[in-house]
Amino acid sequence: MFTGLVDRRRGGATAILEAGQSGWRRVSYDELLRAAALRREGLARTLRPGQLVFLRGNNSSAWLASFLAATDAGAVVVPLPVSTPEPKVRALAERLGVTAMLDAAHDFAPTRLPHAADAPPPPAGTAVVLLSSGTTGEPKGICLGAEGLAWGIRAEAPANRFVGRPRLVTGPLSHMNGLTNSLRTLAGGGTVVYPADLSGRGVEDALVHGRVEEVLAVPALFAKLLTEGRAGVTFPLVQHVSLGSAAPSEELAGLIAAAFPEAVVTNRYGTTEAGFIVFQFDSDAPLTSLGRPDPRVEVRLRDAADVEGGSEGVLQVRSPLRALGYLGTSAPFPLEADGFVDTGDRFRVGPDGRWAWLGRADDMVDCGGQLISLEEVAQAVRSHPGVLNAQAVAVPSATKANKPVVFVVPRGDAAPGEEELRAWASQQLDPVALPRQVWLLDALPVGAAGKVDLAALRQRALAEARPEVRL
Strand partners, 325: 143
* Residue of 134 and 421 predicted with greater confidence: 421
CATH numeric code, 368-470: 3.30.300.30
CATH numeric code, 3-146: 3.40.50.980
pLDDT at position 21, please?
80
pLDDT at position 359, please?
81
Mean pLDDT of 312-330: 95
Residue spans of the domains in the chain: they are 3-146, 269-361, 368-470
Residues 204 and 198 sit within 8 Å (Cβ to Cβ): no
User: In which band, very low, low, confident or very high, does the pLDDT at 161 lie, cut at 50, 70 and 90?
Assistant: low
Indicate if the pLDDT at residue 7 is higher than 50: yes
Indicate if the pLDDT at residue 70 is higher than 50: yes
User: For domain 269-361, which CATH number applies: 2.30.38.10, 2.60.40.1480, 3.30.300.30, 3.40.50.300?
Assistant: 2.30.38.10
CA distances from 389 to 235, 264, 323, 378, 452 (A): 22, 21, 32, 9, 11
CA distances from 381 to 80, 312, 412 (A): 35, 22, 16
Q: Residue 471 CB: number of other CB atoms within 10 A?
A: 11
CA distances from 163 to 17, 280, 325 (A): 15, 20, 33
Q: Render pLDDT for 283-304 as a digit per residue (tens, 0 to 9).
A: 777 877 899 999 999 999 999 9
Q: Which of 128-142, 247-261, 407-421 has the highest mean pLDDT?
A: 407-421
Q: What is the mean pLDDT of the chain?
A: 89
